[in-house]
A and B are shown apart, each in its own frame.
Chain A
């Protein structure tokens, strides 16, 4: 019984990590219709930003958000404006461009760090809270809470602010949105900036958990793509819930079946899901095609 509880808690906390990483990816996909391969590298940049702030400025890892969030937001805006916007009418080229960005960012960080694995050993890394007989890592709880707040906050923003409504309008039909006087390019920049900043947030919050390497983004991104497809392309709620589906599946399979088979198990769940519901749990029917549909 304690085992099961422990495994469920592990799954819940892992779900928080997956959700947080996936929400930004799904926002970008839903609005700009770009599969951003460099999203994992944005997470990685957030991690290294926090590492730099902690080791050079002696900053608290969480306080480093005041640096990583604006920096990643700005990077997202720049990438959208100067890399993706010029390729706006060539969706395939945009995907290749994000892939190129992935390789560029990885290698820049590799050149700067020479490949040494780095970690921060902040006191927060080792704090645990006892929930009954179960030990829970505080850093992971913070990540889980952040994922929930981001999902709620982003939902509120998209539904209750003018900018948020503009983003949704562009997501639904960018030509009609343009006719209504919405600056589509500016909305894209804002969206990509938010998506990148969310990746930076995920990176900063997870820095106390992991040992950083320039390739670490790739570890998250495969899972994040699965989460996005599982939850429904373009759906914030879908990415949030999808993260927990993958988290629970992985924890249960890892404990009760075999840790080395957990990916095989959740990819099986993923394939079955695609067969039964191609648009994902919360996706609109047909959303899976929209990424490659010509947009104006």
Chain B
């Protein structure tokens, strides 16, 4: 009996436990689950190869659908489940609160998906972000505007008229502000910036204002309900800018269902790298997709899962290099990591800046083509045989 307990305890000590900080209930549970699946696939992969530091990696799911729940989940996972480190998060506000709670427990908080700029700007001693952040979403949308869209429309940046629309919380506003700055610096004509509320009943004025400026490109950063309502209103009002670029959302079945594939044809979305990306840009993306399908019997709902998978993989490599999950040792090991772009399935590399933001993690631009999303920018990320479809609105 005593021996059995001792063996069980030894096995337990052998495990490397990561507490996952994602919503399991509430409106975002579907996406929280996607991230957790990404972590579990990363754990499966590393466990098949002998684990980390000879220990089996176990993902322990905590329920974090609000900042308060995030704090409670950290306490529970740190004290009851004795996790070695935390990983998250679908929600930036949860990441912010839960990482401070993790610090109070002297545990590492590794973020793979939260976007808010302030998370790394705080310089919290236990916080590391392996994925892209809001600034890279803004810079990628500005890059795509100049290098992909202006070029395709046959315009010089100075002749390109752009309307920037965004939802009015900190998420949409901060990205829109960066977009405006970057586009103006490049000489693009920003003909207007419009803010709207995510929960608005009617967005006709937002579309009518944009329509009056007759832009070549209309950029929208927001959530799913407002993006869908704006697109439906644009359709009703006959608003046809030459091209449309969505940022953050608009790339899932939820938008396809609302608008139909004919309307969406040609619309582009800045989002996380998708499993279809070119193997030279993101080596291992196809393997990720195969593993996901084998384990969960369907395709990923959203591309966030692959960024979660890659983020968890980078964390495990870093713990291996550090020889421990201790937050200071992991940070020291992370600071030394230097991997070129194109190392991971998402196309990410690893090089952390002084605030421990990965500077080699970027979203990509995908385009709706016949009801499917196809990666079209950066050009190297475009899948073999795929090409940019006509982006002009008809």
Contacts from A to B (Cβ < 8 Å): 3, 6-7, 10, 14, 17-18, 110, 114-121, 125-126, 128, 135-137, 209-211, 213-216, 218-220, 223, 250-251, 254-255, 258-260, 262-263
Contacts and interface: CB of A to CB of B under 8 A. Distances in A.
B234 to A, nearest CB: 11
B177 interface: no
Nearest to A211: B228
Interface residues of B, number: 38
B297 interface: no
Contact of B201 (A17, A114, A118): A17
Interface string B228-266: 110010011110000000000000001001111001000
A118 B257 contact: yes
A114 B33 CA distance: 10
Nearest to A246: B201
Given A254-B206, A260-B195, A219 B236 contact: no
Central interface residue in A121, A125, A211, A215, by most chain B CB within 10 Å: A211
Given A119-B258, A209-B232, A114 B194 contact: no
Given A18-B201, A126-B263, 14 more contacts: A114-B30, A116-B254, A119-B228, A119-B254, A126-B235, A126-B260, A210-B228, A211-B228, A211-B229, A223-B201, A254-B206, A255-B205, A259-B194, A259-B200
Nearest to A127: B236
Contacts of A118: 254, 257
Interface stretch (B21-29, B148-156, B330-338, B348-356): B21-29
Given A6-B208, A250-B202, A210 B236 contact: no
B229 A210 contact: yes
A196 B228 CA distance: 27
A266 B263 CA distance: 34
Nearest to B32: A115
B116 interface: no
Nearest to B206: A259
Contacts of B225: 117, 210-211, 213, 216
B295 interface: no
29 contacts: A3-B212, A6-B208, A7-B205, A7-B208, A10-B204, A10-B208, A110-B25, A115-B26, A115-B27, A119-B254, A121-B258, A125-B232, A126-B232, A126-B235, A126-B236, A126-B260, A137-B236, A211-B258, A213-B225, A216-B225, A223-B201, A254-B202, A255-B209, A259-B196, A259-B200, A259-B205, A259-B209, A260-B195, A260-B197
